[in-house]
Amino acid sequence: WDSVTSNTEKDTLTEETHMKKNILVIGGGGREHAIIHALSRSPEAGKIYCAPGNAGIAALAECHPEIKATDLDGVVAFVRSHPDIYMTVVAPDDPLALGMVDRLEAEGFRAFGPRAAAARLEASKSFAKDLMKKYGIPTAAYEVFTDYDAARAYIDGCRYPVVLKADGLALGKGVLICETHEQAVAGLKEIMLDKAFGSAGNTLVVEDCLTGFECSALAFCDGKTVVPMTTSQDHKRALDGNKGLNTGGMGTFSPSYKVSPEMEKRIYDEVLRPTLDGLISEGVEFKGVLYAGLMINGDDIRVLEFNARFGDPETQVILPRLATDLLEIFDACIDGTLDKVRIEWTGNAAVCIVAASGGYPEAYEKGKEITIGDMDDNVIVFHAGTAFKDGKLVTNGGRVLGVTALAPTLREARDLAYANIRKVHFDKMHYRKDILSEL
Ligand code: AMP
Ligand code: GLY
């Protein structure tokens, strides 16, 4: 290749290299690995930085473990001292809620993600519920309480099962499904009096328990236009058969075969579009990823929750299927030109199985050595809680890594993912064996 490159071509290449866009990604989980994996495929992407990052991300990006994802001052200082950074992508919920995008923009920097006022859609369940009520977006019937005694009186008279939700961010754990009055009394005490989820429990949402199947509907937004991504489905419970505690997500597949094209259109018409319109009416500009967690039962579609970011592990099956340049999409979301981008998906199906530390989502040990055998083609290992210690790859979190497989059908992708996760080993490793077992 070198020998056939003329001087002029070489000059153009050098010029192009200079024009490349360097990017900082905030976060250090499987979602961020998947985002960086997609960005690194962009012809326009230059050097990628990640704060804090993880051992897998380190193969694609310069990681800065000394900067935590919630360290607003640290991130702003890093961007100030790196004038080569073209864009900062804020991926996790807490820095978004804390206003990291607002801070970066105030300094004149380019950032992808919603500002704090828009991230409230995720950070405050009562804000989200009130918005849905006001704009007729289907969700479970609910009441909001800031007073323990009033909440207590309400649960004495409500129907069971009932769902209690701490208002703020609680790592996906601030939701209690109570089958009985006794459980609800205990849950109420846990959230509002014992503050098991901290100040998130100052305000409580009590809502009807919905049944059906869950589906994640993610969409890119530029404040005006909302473009749905392909559908996906998460598995929140820790154990097979949807038993055990709620986790951040133990596995996922895309597309969600249970959602018909007609249903996808309804999700846009009845949920995604009206949510963005409602926010616009409230004077809130939402730029970034809008994620609606849905419960679908027959023809009934209802919103369980909104997130203001990519889902994890959903991103680990969605982005490997994206055919369009992710950097171009991020640019369009920031610039308000999403209507000009044609977003396309490959025909593949994707399945991701998460390998977690024994004990997760409760107490677990870190620092276990991880071995990963040779992966087959069309398999990607996205790291989540991993680190290097004394030159060895070790566990460093509850969700350790995700094995994503791509294949023409969900069934083949599932088999490929399971065949490859069996080549991953660490002490007390745990993963769900029943993902898509119905197929
Ligand atoms: P959330 O953080 O609001 O998505 O809640 C976490 C999980 O709790 C959801 O993914 C559902 O599995 C479950 N959940 C939340 N709200 C309800 C509800 N109203 N009815 C039944 N299950 C729910
Ligand atoms: N997988 C669920 C979430 O990202 O909230």
**Going by DSSP bridges, is the β-strand pair 85-90/379-383 parallel, antiparallel, or unpaired?**
unpaired
Ligand 2 mutation pick, 314, 318, 353, 432, max ligand atoms within 8 A of CB: 314
Ligand closest to Cα of 252 equals: 2
- Predicted local confidence at residue 162, as pLDDT: 96
Distance 4 CA to ligand 2 centre (A): 49
Task: Assess whether the C-beta atom of 398 lies below 6 angstroms from ligand 2.
Answer: no
Ligand closest to Cα of 303 equals: 1
Ligand closest to Cα of 308 equals: 2
The answer to whether 310 and 218 have CB atoms below 8 angstroms apart is: yes
Q: Atom 3 (ligand 2): residue with closest C-alpha?
A: 311
Distance 267 CA to ligand 2 centre (A): 18
The pLDDT profile of the chain, 439 residues, written as one tens digit per residue, is: 333 444 444 445 555 555 799 999 999 999 999 999 999 999 999 999 999 999 999 999 999 999 999 999 999 999 999 999 999 999 999 999 999 999 999 999 999 999 999 999 999 989 999 999 999 999 999 999 999 999 999 999 999 999 999 987 876 668 899 999 999 999 999 999 999 888 888 899 999 999 999 999 999 999 999 999 999 999 999 999 999 988 889 999 999 999 999 999 999 999 999 999 999 999 999 999 999 999 999 999 999 999 999 999 999 999 999 999 999 999 999 999 999 999 999 999 999 999 999 999 999 999 999 999 999 999 999 999 999 999 999 999 999 999 999 999 999 999 999 999 999 999 999 999 999 999 9
Pairwise CA distance, residues 393 & 426, whole Å: 10
Task: Assess whether the C-beta atom of 315 lies below 6 angstroms from ligand 2.
Answer: no
Q: Atom 5 (ligand 2): residue with closest C-alpha?
A: 311
What is the atom index within ligand 1 of the atom nearest the CA of 302?
19
- Predicted local confidence at residue 174, as pLDDT: 80
Distance 266 CA to ligand 1 centre (A): 21
Task: Assess whether the C-beta atom of 314 lies below 6 angstroms from ligand 2.
Answer: yes
- Predicted local confidence at residue 95, as pLDDT: 98
Strand order in the sheet with 399-407: 233-234, 251-254, 349-356, 399-407, 379-383
Pairwise CA distance, residues 36 & 290, whole Å: 19
Give the global pTM.
Answer: 0.93
Pairwise CA distance, residues 318 & 351, whole Å: 9
Pairwise CA distance, residues 144 & 432, whole Å: 35
What 3-state class would DSSP assign to 41?
coil
If one counts every other C-beta atom within 10 angstroms of the C-beta of residue 368, the result is 19
pLDDT in tens, 116-172: 999 999 999 899 999 999 999 999 999 999 999 999 999 999 999 999 999 878 766
Distance 337 CA to ligand 1 centre (A): 34
Which are the contacts of 352, defined by CB distance < 8 A and separation ≥ 6? 251, 252, 253, 313, 316, 317, 382, 402, 403, 404, 405, 417
- Predicted local confidence at residue 198, as pLDDT: 86
- Predicted local confidence at residue 6, as pLDDT: 42
Distance of CA 322 to the CA centre of its chain: 16
The answer to whether 61 and 36 have CB atoms below 8 angstroms apart is: yes
List the beta bridge partners of residue 406.
350
Pairwise CA distance, residues 105 & 115, whole Å: 9
Distance of CA 195 to the CA centre of its chain: 25
What are the contacts of 228-233 at 24+ separation with CB within 8 A? 228/264, 228/267, 228/268, 228/272, 229/318, 229/322, 229/343, 229/345, 230/254, 230/255, 230/318, 230/321, 230/345, 231/255, 231/256, 231/259, 231/264, 232/256, 232/311, 232/314, 232/317, 232/318, 233/258
Distance 236 CA to ligand 2 centre (A): 8
Is residue 370 packed enough to be buried (19+ CB in 10 Å), middle (13-18) or exposed (0-12)? buried
Q: Atom 4 (ligand 2): residue with closest C-alpha?
A: 311
- Predicted local confidence at residue 18, as pLDDT: 55
Task: Assess whether the C-beta atom of 302 lies below 6 angstroms from ligand 1.
Answer: no
DSSP notation for 249-302:
-SEEEES-TTS-HHHHHHHIIIIIHHHHHHHHHTT---EEEEEEEEEEETTEEE
Pairwise CA distance, residues 375 & 195, whole Å: 44
Distance 164 CA to ligand 1 centre (A): 9
- E strand spans, 113-201: 142-145, 162-166, 175-178
What is the atom index within ligand 2 of the atom nearest the CA of 309?
4
Task: Assess whether the C-beta atom of 95 lies below 6 angstroms from ligand 2.
Answer: no
Task: Assess whether the C-beta atom of 307 lies below 6 angstroms from ligand 2.
Answer: yes
